[in-house]
């Protein structure tokens, strides 16, 4: 089991200098086992700072982070331990690749965990399979591959540690549409097969609407909305106000409502929008 | 955090010192250093300390920040003090002791000199933005162009280097975080192990530094950058009345220090 709980989390950058800035303020959130949560927010809304607290890379200025009820910042050992249990994939993770071969780069995490060679090998192959990296690439240098492949290898490097919670900061940023779709499919499959909790930071609301079971919205360092995609995207106006996009379908539904077409508020996928429009045309309730 | 390094960081503000022309401040710092090394007696050191304190107060930089800058030099300061205390001959503090009154006095003066030197030069970088600083330097060094010294190219490189220090620090921070998230350990182990642990940081850092340099070169070229010939500036440096007064005060200060030294006070 892995339940992550943040209690009154506050973080202040460069405290005591003219550059002091409160990145997140009093964030309380519980993420249950096996959830797929999307974290959305404007650039600088504090979402990246928030996720870095979840594996003790940042120590909160105030508040606590609990993993299965235990404070992860308890001591040096708990802080190290949590990095294995909560895997964090940064934005543009391909910039962290450094080894001579793809295989060794994926094995970096498991090797740091001081696992036996046999187990490392097993994990590397498993992680590569999850992200769709062919074993034929294992002996290549990671630096000579394409951007999309580099991204996959970097993600595999975190998955190889078999974290109970996987956090991905904009995993699809800068990928082509086909690459995006494939990576999302990989992430979903990973979650289904391993039952791990997945946290996804994203700007792409269409993806969020399609994938996530729960959406958390950050604005100015605070959680301003938290609920199912249907709940969150029914406040399309409010989301646009804080400078976020909404799924295309929501946008369209909002525009239709303004024109007087009674599309229900909880429409946020293309399928639902189509269904409700068809229903309206035939005069049925939707 | 790496970001907390204050060494030579610019603190934006709007004090008298901030508003002075970069050229004035550069000249004044040189004057200050020369004056500082004229000080031989407690009277001289007292005067320099007073002037430094006055400048810091006028700059509205919190004294705490100034001391933070001195901290990295603590080792050198302590070492200098020790050497002076133990290796100066004179009257012993107690009969038979190696420590002398002269030694203690010399040590105090040396420490004061180093601290003042650091504070004075840091005041320049704290109150002057790197861009203004290199612009000022370029204009001060301009006469050297006659001797075919590539002044513009040198200062351009300097301002770029300064510009990229925070970027590279940030990048290092990011890479470190990413590798830490993969279980890398930078804090424990012997010297060899720690040096090896740096590899996962250095390789990506170099890769990205070269990529960035490449991109910057392309960006500059596509905006028709071709060196210093005929280049104009958006922000012109201008000397005002405050600058003339400051330069005059600096000259007076230097004269006073030289006079003190000549008089043997």
Structure confidence by residue, pLDDT tens digits, A42-95:
888 889 899 999 988 888 999 999 998 888 888 888 888 888 899 999 988 888
Q: Distance from B131 to chain A by nearest Cα, in Å? A: 19
pLDDT value of residue B6: 45
> Is there a contact between B204 and A97 if contact means CB atoms under 8 Å apart?
yes
> Is there a contact between B182 and A158 if contact means CB atoms under 8 Å apart?
yes
Span A150-182, pLDDT tens digits: 999 999 999 999 999 999 998 888 888 888 888
Q: How confident is the model at residue A237 (pLDDT cuts 50, 70, 90)?
A: confident
Look at residue B240 and tell me whether its pLDDT is greater than 90: no
Mean pLDDT, chain B, rounded, equals 86
| Contact status, residue B134 vs residue B141, Cβ threshold 8 Å | no
Break chain B into its structural domains and give their ranges.
Answer: 1-128+238-265, 150-234
Identify the closest residue of chain A to B12 by CA–CA distance: A18
pLDDT value of residue B230: 76
pLDDT value of residue A261: 84
Q: Distance from B125 to chain A by nearest Cα, in Å? A: 15
Chain centre distance of CA A14: 26
| Contact status, residue B180 vs residue A57, Cβ threshold 8 Å | yes
**DSSP tag of B122:** H
* Calpha distance B24→B14 (Å, rounded): 16
pLDDT value of residue B4: 47
Residue B96 near chain A (CB below 8 Å): no
> Is there a contact between A17 and B65 if contact means CB atoms under 8 Å apart?
yes
- Per CB-CB distance under 8 Å, the chain B contacts of A80 are 183, 185
Across the interface, of B12, B65, B175, the residue whose CB is closest to A96 is B175
Look at residue A262 and tell me whether its pLDDT is greater than 90: no
Name the least confident of A166-170, A264-268, B55-59, B82-86: A264-268
Span B192-204, pLDDT tens digits: 888 888 889 999 9
Task: Give ipTM to 2 decimals.
Answer: 0.81
Q: What is the mean pLDDT of residues B112-137?
A: 88
User: How many angstroms separate the first and last alpha carbons of chain B?
Assistant: 47
Name the least confident of B75-84, B210-219, B234-243: B234-243
Interface test with A, best of B170, B183, B200, B210 (most A CBs within 10 A): B183
Look at residue A223 and tell me whether its pLDDT is greater than 70: yes
pLDDT value of residue B215: 93
Span A97-128, pLDDT tens digits: 888 899 999 999 999 888 999 999 999 999 99
Residue A108 near chain B (CB below 8 Å): yes
pLDDT value of residue B156: 86
pTM above 0.95, yes or no: no
Judged by DSSP in three states, B23 sits in helix
pLDDT value of residue A1: 56
> Is there a contact between B177 and A158 if contact means CB atoms under 8 Å apart?
no
Across the interface, of B11, B65, B178, the residue whose CB is closest to A93 is B178
- Per CB-CB distance under 8 Å, the chain A contacts of B208 are 95
- Per CB-CB distance under 8 Å, the chain B contacts of A108 are 179, 182-184, 200
pLDDT value of residue B1: 44
* Calpha distance B143→A49 (Å, rounded): 49
Identify the closest residue of chain A to B172 by CA–CA distance: A96
pLDDT value of residue B265: 67
| Contact status, residue A138 vs residue A103, Cβ threshold 8 Å | yes
Interface test with A, best of B59, B127, B181 (most A CBs within 10 A): B181
Mean pLDDT, chain A, rounded, equals 88
Sign of the dihedral defined by the CA atoms of residues A13, A19, A25, A29, in that order = negative
DSSP string, A202-234: -S-HHHHHHH-SEEEEEETTEEEEEE-HHHHHT
Report the length, in residues, of chain A: 286
Span A6-28, pLDDT tens digits: 999 999 987 777 678 888 999 99
Residue A84 near chain B (CB below 8 Å): yes
Q: What percent of chain A has pLDDT over 70?
A: 98
**DSSP tag of B15:** S
Chain centre distance of CA A59: 20
Q: How confident is the model at residue A246 (pLDDT cuts 50, 70, 90)?
A: confident
> Is there a contact between A95 and B175 if contact means CB atoms under 8 Å apart?
yes
pLDDT value of residue B48: 92
Judged by DSSP in three states, B237 sits in coil
Which residues, numbered 141 to 180 in chain A, qualify as contacts with chain B under a Cβ-Cβ cut-off of 8 Å? 143, 157-158, 161
Q: What is the mean pLDDT of residues A203-232?
A: 88
φ and ψ at B189, to 5 degrees? 100, 170
- Per CB-CB distance under 8 Å, the chain B contacts of A113 are 183
pLDDT value of residue B97: 79
- Per CB-CB distance under 8 Å, the chain B contacts of A17 are 6, 11, 65
Q: How confident is the model at residue A285 (pLDDT cuts 50, 70, 90)?
A: low
């Amino acid at each position: 089991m892995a339940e992550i709980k943040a209690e009154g989390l506050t973080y202040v950058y460069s405290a005591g200098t003219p550059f002091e800035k409160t990145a997140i303020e009093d964030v309380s959130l519980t993420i249950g086992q096996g959830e797929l949560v999307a974290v959305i927010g404007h650039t600088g809304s504090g979402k990246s700072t928030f996720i870095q607290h979840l594996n003790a890379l940042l120590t909160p200025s105030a508040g606590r982070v609990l993993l299965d009820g235990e404070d992860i910042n308890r001591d040096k050992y708990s802080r190290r331990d949590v990095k294995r249990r909560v895997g964090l994939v940064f934005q543009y993770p391909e910039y962290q690749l450094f080894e001579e071969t793809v295989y060794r780069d994926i094995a970096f995490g498991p090797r740091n965990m001081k696992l036996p060679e046999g187990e490392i090998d097993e994990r590397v192959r498993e992680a590569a399979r999850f992200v769709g990296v062919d074993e034929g690439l294992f002996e290549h240098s990671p630096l000579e591959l394409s951007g999309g492949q580099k991204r996959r290898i970097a993600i595999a490097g975190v998955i190889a540690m078999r974290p109970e919670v996987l956090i991905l900061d904009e995993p699809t940023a800068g990928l082509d549409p086909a690459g995006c779709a494939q990576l999302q499919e990989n992430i979903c499959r990973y979650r289904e097969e391993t039952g791990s909790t997945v946290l996804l930071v994203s700007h792409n609301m269409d993806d969020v609407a399609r994938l996530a079971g729960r959406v958390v919205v950050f604005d100015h360092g605070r959680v301003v909305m938290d609920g199912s995609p249907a709940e969150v995207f029914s406040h399309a106006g409010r989301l646009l106000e804080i400078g976020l996009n909404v799924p295309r379908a929501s946008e369209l539904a909002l525009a239709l409502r303004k024109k007087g077409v009674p599309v229900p508020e909880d429409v946020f996928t293309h399928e639902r929008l189509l269904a409700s429009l068809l229903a309206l045309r035939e005069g049925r309730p939707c | 955090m790496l970001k907390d390094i204050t060494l030579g960081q610019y603190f934006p503000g709007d004090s008298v010192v901030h508003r002075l022309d970069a050229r004035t401040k550069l000249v004044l710092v040189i004057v200050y250093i020369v004056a500082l090394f004229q000080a031989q007696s407690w009277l001289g050191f007292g005067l320099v300390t007073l002037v430094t304190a006055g400048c810091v107060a006028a700059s509205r930089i919190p004294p705490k920040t100034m001391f933070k800058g001195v901290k990295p030099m603590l080792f050198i300061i302590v070492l200098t003090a020790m050497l002076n205390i133990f290796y100066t001959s004179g009257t012993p503090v107690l009969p038979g002791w190696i420590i002398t009154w002269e030694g203690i006095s010399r040590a105090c003066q040396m420490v004061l000199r180093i601290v003042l030197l650091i504070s004075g030069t840091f005041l320049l970088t704290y109150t002057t933005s790197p861009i203004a600083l290199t612009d000022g330097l370029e204009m001060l060094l301009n006469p050297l162009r006659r001797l075919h010294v590539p002044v513009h190219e040198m200062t351009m490189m300097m301002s770029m280097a300064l510009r990229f220090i925070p970027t590279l620090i940030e990048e290092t921070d990011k890479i470190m975080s990413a590798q830490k998230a993969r279980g890398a350990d930078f804090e424990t182990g012997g010297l060899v192990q720690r040096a090896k642990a740096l590899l996962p940081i250095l390789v990506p850092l170099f890769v990205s530094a070269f990529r960035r340099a490449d991109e910057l070169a392309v960006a500059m070229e596509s905006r028709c950058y071709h060196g210093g010939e005929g280049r104009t500036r958006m922000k012109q440096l201008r000397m005002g009345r405050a600058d003339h007064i400051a330069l005059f005060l600096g000259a007076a200060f230097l004269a006073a220090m030289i006079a003190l030294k000549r008089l043997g006070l």
